[in-house]
Amino acid sequence: MQPLLDSIDSPADLRQLEEKALQSLAGELRQFLIEVISGTGGHLAPGLGTVELAIALHYVFDTPNDRLVWDIGHQAYPHKILTGRRQKMHTIRQAGGLSGFLKRAESEYDTFGAGHSSTSISAALGMAIAAQLNHAPRQVVAIIGDGALTAGQAMEALYNAGDLDANLLVILNDNEMSISRNVGAMSNYLARILSGRAYTTVREGSKTVLGTAPPVQAFARRWEEHLKGMVMPSTLFEELGFNYIGPIDGHDIHTLVSTLRNMKAMEGPRFLHIATQKGKGFKPAEGEPVAFHGVGPFNPDTGKVEKKSGKRTYTQVFGDWMCDMAAADERLIGITPAMRDGSGLVRFSEEHPDRYFDVGIAEQHALTFAGGTACDGLKPVVAIYSTFLQRAYDQLIHDISVQNLDVTFAIDRAGIVGADGPTHQGAFDLSFLRCIPGMTVLAPADEAECRDMLYTAFLHPGPAAVRYPRGSGPGVAETSKMTRIPIGKAQLCREGQEVALLAFGTMLAPAMEAGDSLDATVVNMRSVKPLDTAMIEQLADSHTLLVTIEENAMRGGAGAGVAESLAQGDRSIPLLILGLPDEHIEHGDPDIVLAQCGLNADGIISAVRRRQPGQVAASRHSA
């Protein structure tokens, strides 16, 4: 007998099935997802928790005419499988393959692209308003995880949606164990009643029928609130203007289908609260949902993950430094926007729980909160990804820079990140940090230098950032001792002829290799802001071509800073700026991507030779 999943090439195929077949389909879909991700790696636990939900949504709603807006994309792997991409799932997060997130260019079913959290309700509200103004008879559904509701943008969208009385359904995918007691036969039964057409008619009709009898209307309203209060965690969403239903069992596919059908027939802002289990159906992921949130290739039978490289990562360097620095200075506190594990703060959170603050997916709050602690004598360290810092740019300027507050930023995932692709490439932090007055920006070339730069930034009395990449470095071991590096002082690493390579951060290693082939001078610039202007002027006076190399966008980055320095110093010398191109860079192996961008040794050598520095020198001296 042919597996049901093999017959599903689109949601239209799914809608041809009898409802009683959906549970079997869910089992096949869950097993397929485990098998695929065991080979490729990727986000597993979130998708395992949304198998039934994805099936029910595409079964009840007329997609793609009806809009499904999934938050982030971690939870949307089952959605991808059901929408014609099953045969390509083995390419996910690989160069030229499927994106690990939602992407409008990839499928008409991906109605809104997203790699960062908490955008779904805002986007879905916009689509609901567009449908209203265009007189388009379509449903709009936003699916958001419970963690994503900690972000201010999600709450802002909820406030606006209730006020606009938009025809919008928001589904909260809640996988917190604390609400398990609210899930069961009685809860599901009441949810079906509360979402049913008869109840809705009575509820709406009572506003008119009982309108002339205030005491009776008030009694009916109190009865309804009392009934809901027995099974609901909060009346918050109703206060915001939503018709709140739930929580219901997100793995009971028949309850999901029944409830979604009833809520589809309703109008206005609706809120469905479902309870799911992250990692559902795969015991290793159920037991360790954090570890299997984003996982490398693993054994699908045992869940054992393939061993990674034994080299230390920059994230580990940071995590160990935090613990050492906290032991040396009791003023240090650690702040992260819901990235304890990813930012390397697990050990710190265990050793210093009273000095560790996870503020949720709330980057804006994280920075202003850090600023507040700095005002009263603490020394906050904000551990944040490069692309997540983008979300708090106003706070970085308005709350930190303007007041010159002593906040240290440990910026992880700077530069090319690999499989996560354009939404997560740390391509812009040097550009958007360099223009902020009073900001100090450091870029380490190796692990030992990263530790020393973190120490230097922490001691600096003002806002300072250390940006470092994902993964491991060249393997330079740190020592227990921490050394303060002079800010704004570059390091001459190799003396050569004609060409000077000015390397920022991770680009020192390929620059050294290229320098040997070109007999070029190589400098580890170390500090992006302030720049070592004396070194730049010295190199300009003694060489015929300066080349800046950075793992950041060329527009407005470190190379642009060198160009500004040369202009201000009235130095006229050819300058070649090498960096990431002016485009959004797709996912792929970091080494391959960097090579494609010309940011490996061969790329640097080729770019320099194309500029023909010997001829440049001849024309310069003759002038």
Would the pLDDT of 521 be above 70? yes
Would the pLDDT of 211 be above 70? no
Please identify which residue in the block is written with the tokens 């050394």.
Answer: 483
With the CA atoms of 540, 545, 546 and 550 taken in that order, what torsion angle do they form, in degrees rounded to the nearest 10? 180
Residue 616: both structure tokens together:
């440049």
Average pLDDT over residues 349-368: 95
Closest by CA position to 48, among listed 26, 63, 68: 26
Split at pLDDT 50, 70, 90, the class of 80 is: very high
The predicted structure's pLDDT at residue 291 = 86
The residue annotated as part of the active site, out of 52, 363, 449, 550, is 363
Split at pLDDT 50, 70, 90, the class of 196 is: low
Cβ-Cβ contacts under 8 Å for 73 (sequence gap 6 or more): 43, 99, 100, 101, 102, 114, 115
pLDDT tens sequence across 459-496 = 999 999 999 999 999 999 899 999 999 999 999 999 99
pLDDT tens sequence across 299-337 = 998 999 877 667 899 999 999 999 999 999 999 999 999
What gap in Å lies between CA 500 and CA 608, rounded to an integer? Answer: 10
What gap in Å lies between CA 112 and CA 126, rounded to an integer? Answer: 11
pLDDT tens sequence across 6-64 = 999 999 999 999 999 999 999 999 999 999 999 999 899 999 999 999 999 999 999 99
Active site residue 278: yes
Average pLDDT over residues 82-103: 94
Split at pLDDT 50, 70, 90, the class of 208 is: very low
The predicted structure's pLDDT at residue 152 = 87
Give 338's DSSP letter: S
Tell me whether strands 440-442 and 527-529 are parallel, antiparallel or unpaired: antiparallel
Closest by CA position to 573, among listed 606, 620, 533, 607: 620
Three-class SS state of 114: strand
Active site residue 108: no
pLDDT tens sequence across 563-614 = 999 999 888 899 999 999 999 999 999 999 999 999 999 999 999 999 865 5
The residue annotated as part of the active site, out of 30, 278, 470, 529, is 278
The predicted structure's pLDDT at residue 193 = 47
Closest by CA position to 373, among listed 339, 403, 340: 403
Give 245's DSSP letter: E
CB atoms within 10 A of CB 239: 10
pLDDT tens sequence across 409-437 = 999 999 999 889 899 999 999 999 999 99
Split at pLDDT 50, 70, 90, the class of 73 is: confident
CB 545 within 8 A of CB 611: yes
CB 68 within 8 A of CB 75: no
List beta partners, residue 70. Answer: 143
CB 585 within 8 A of CB 597: yes
Tell me whether strands 270-275 and 527-529 are parallel, antiparallel or unpaired: unpaired
621 or 457, higher pLDDT: 457
By percentage, how much of the chain surpasses pLDDT 70? 88
The predicted structure's pLDDT at residue 316 = 97
118 or 222, higher pLDDT: 118
The distance in angstroms from the start CA to the end CA of the chain is 82
pLDDT tens sequence across 370-413 = 999 999 999 999 999 999 999 999 999 999 999 999 999 999 99
303 vs 30, 295, 297, CA distance in Å?
Answer: 15, 10, 9
**Burial of 346 per CB tally in 10 Å (0-12, 13-18, 19+):** middle
What gap in Å lies between CA 567 and CA 203, rounded to an integer? Answer: 72
Three-class SS state of 600: coil
Would the pLDDT of 202 be above 50? no
Would the pLDDT of 290 be above 90? no
CB 172 within 8 A of CB 75: no
Split at pLDDT 50, 70, 90, the class of 98 is: very high
Cβ-Cβ contacts under 8 Å for 110 (sequence gap 6 or more): 83, 102, 103, 104
The predicted structure's pLDDT at residue 18 = 97
What gap in Å lies between CA 272 and CA 57, rounded to an integer? Answer: 12
Average pLDDT over residues 156-163: 92
Would the pLDDT of 615 be above 90? no
CB 55 within 8 A of CB 30: no
The predicted structure's pLDDT at residue 231 = 43
CB 539 within 8 A of CB 600: no
CB atoms within 10 A of CB 574: 17
The predicted structure's pLDDT at residue 191 = 52
Would the pLDDT of 223 be above 70? no
Would the pLDDT of 232 be above 50? no
CB 142 within 8 A of CB 120: yes
Split at pLDDT 50, 70, 90, the class of 238 is: confident
The residue annotated as part of the active site, out of 85, 103, 280, 391, is 391
Give me the sheet containing 332-336, strands edge to edge. Answer: 356-358, 332-336, 379-385, 408-412, 464-467, 440-442, 527-529
List beta partners, residue 297. Answer: none
